[in-house]
Amino acid sequence: MSTAGDARVRRLAPESVDLTEFASLLTSELEHEYLLLLVPYGLEAHAPSLAAGRLIRSRLAATAAGLLSDRLIRRCAALEMMHTSTLIHDDILDRGTVRRGLPTLWKAVGRERALLIGNLVAARALAIAQADSAEAANVFLETWQRVNVAQLREVNERGRVKDRAAHVGISIGKASAAMELGLVIGCMSSPGWPVDLTHLREAVREFGLGFQFADDVEDVRAWLGASGPRRSKEAEFDIDLGNLTLPVTILAESAGVRVEPAGRRSVQVLRALSLDDWEPCLQATFRIALDHLDRARWHLDRAEEFSGDLELARRVIEWADEMIESVRRKGLDMTLSELPRVVR
């Protein structure tokens, strides 16, 4: 089932996309790329950890494409490498110590090496995109700029209590940009390209926001309950650095708490607050997350009508519905009634 010019192409119905096979092919490609980058510096032992991950953005790309091909695998390798480079730099800036269940790269090799490896990984991602096409190179460069602008904005605003609009602005760059890139390269790899991406991009952007804000609630919940060491540390580091996530901002405003950057006092003050102080803030944040998921679903309904490719739109809708439901289930799992038994 191959075509001339591409030895591995398979047309797939929306319900039969083999994401397991896709993930295996992509992971192998990523491990190969990381080995090529790291072997010259004696750092090849870190290739598997860099290639690990849930591949959420690439799974979206494969679903949108509706097929598996060498070109899609290469595009998704570039996507995952760009995303990983931002995580490497994010961990350095935020002093993150655990990523994907392992020590972060800077903890393993030092800040200087990790910074430079992150740059090399990003450069390789952009090189792959450039070799693909000018169109691909442009969408990758746009994403790279959006992510870095959002990261710089977050650093500049450390210690400030931001309003919801500011949180949305930063999260659109940090959380949604790479998700949108997955959508775009998937659509570019589909037989029906070009299509109208207006509503599909808006849907994925809103989903990224809902996913991020629900994740912020989980981080704080783990910190309050002293459970989930990785999440607990992430929440504490954010507060200590003055990176105020949305639930912390809502609490700071409602309780009149002053959160100071790089100050252990802020961590101590927030941990000392009662569950009664935290509960409405966590609930409010999750309601905001659900609001963004509802907006995502509205845009998906419009996309089915206006995208110009009904099959592609329905494939993306199927993916999005599963992801939206997974976030909604987080809300059911995060029953705050359980917290009094574990809160310190």
Inter-axis angle of helices 70-94 and 229-241, nearest 10:
60
Q: What's the whole-model pTM score?
A: 0.85
DSSP state of 46: G
Q: What pLDDT does 154 receive?
A: 87
Q: What pLDDT does 22 receive?
A: 96
Q: Nearest-CA neighbor of 60 among 43, 44, 80? A: 80
Q: With contact defined as beta carbons under 8 Å apart, do 243 and 267 qualify?
A: no
Mark 141-152 as b/e (b = at least 16 C-beta within 10 Å). eebbebbbebbe
Q: With contact defined as beta carbons under 8 Å apart, do 29 and 58 qualify?
A: no
Q: What pLDDT does 227 receive?
A: 53
Could you report the average pLDDT of every consecutive run of 10 residues in the chain (344 residues)?
A: 39 60 97 98 96 94 95 98 96 84 90 97 98 98 96 83 80 92 97 93 95 89 64 61 80 71 62 79 93 95 90 92 87 49 31
Q: With contact defined as beta carbons under 8 Å apart, do 323 and 211 qualify?
A: yes
Other CB atoms within 10 Å distance of the CB of residue 218: 19
Q: What pLDDT does 224 receive?
A: 76
Q: What pLDDT does 242 receive?
A: 66
Q: With contact defined as beta carbons under 8 Å apart, do 109 and 117 qualify?
A: yes
Alpha carbon distance 304, 314 (integer Å): 7
With the C-alpha atoms ordered 137, 90, 209, 99, is the resulting torsion angle positive or negative?
A: positive
Q: With contact defined as beta carbons under 8 Å apart, do 200 and 183 qualify?
A: yes
Q: With contact defined as beta carbons under 8 Å apart, do 11 and 18 qualify?
A: no
- Return the structure tokens found at 141: 């460069």
Q: What pLDDT does 8 receive?
A: 39
Q: With contact defined as beta carbons under 8 Å apart, do 58 and 314 qualify?
A: no
Q: What pLDDT does 249 receive?
A: 84
Alpha carbon distance 282, 267 (integer Å): 17
- In the chain, the domains with their CATH numbers are 17-190 (1.10.600.10), 195-344 (no CATH)
Other CB atoms within 10 Å distance of the CB of residue 212: 22
Alpha carbon distance 238, 269 (integer Å): 14
Mind giving me the DSSP string for 108-165?
HH-HHHHHHHHHHHHHHHHHHHHHH-HHHHHHHHHHHHHHHHHHHHHHHTTT----HH
